[in-house]
């Protein structure tokens, strides 16, 4: 039988609900807006992929949106410069413009806590 607990809003939920809530929080979703295969766009994708592998233990997705193919999608996140990375999940939404080459600024800007290497 599931164990009941009270969440921060005072609502009683069972452990199955708590597990679902925790799993939602463990997912990261990034949208990278680009305009073709430019050197900056390629570097931005390489950088966010590298940082995600190094510092996000949870599941993450990176969706690449090419505005040359679908320019109307720029309105969704009010994109005015490219490349732009949008962190959709977890909330709140965050944006970073550029090739994402400054690792420290990207991690801070996206609220990603760097993982400490084992043995250090």
Q: Choose the weakest-confidence range: 44-53, 57-66, 109-118.
A: 109-118
Is pTM beyond 0.85 here? no
The two structure tokens encoding residue 54: 């190094």
pLDDT at 116: 66
Q: What is the mean pLDDT of residues 100-116?
A: 91
Domains and CATH numbers, the chain: 27-109 (3.40.30.10)
pLDDT at 2: 38
Q: Which residues contact 6 (CB under 8 A, 6 or more apart)?
A: 12, 13
Nearest of 57, 48, 59, 60 to residue 115 by alpha carbon: 57
pLDDT tens digits, residue range 61-89? 999 999 999 999 998 889 999 999 999 99
């Amino acid at each position: 039988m599931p164990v009941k607990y009270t969440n921060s809003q005072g609502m009683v939920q069972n452990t199955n609900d708590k597990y679902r809530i925790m799993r939602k929080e463990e997912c990261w979703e990034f949208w990278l807006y680009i305009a073709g295969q430019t050197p900056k766009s390629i570097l931005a994708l390489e950088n966010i992929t590298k940082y995600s592998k190094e510092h996000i233990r949870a599941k993450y997705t990176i969706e690449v949106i090419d505005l040359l193919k679908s320019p109307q999608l720029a309105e969704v996140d009010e994109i005015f410069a490219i490349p732009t990375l949008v962190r959709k999940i977890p909330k709140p939404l965050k944006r970073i413009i550029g090739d994402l080459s400054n690792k420290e600024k990207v991690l801070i800007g996206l609220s990603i806590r760097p993982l400490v290497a084992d043995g250090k």
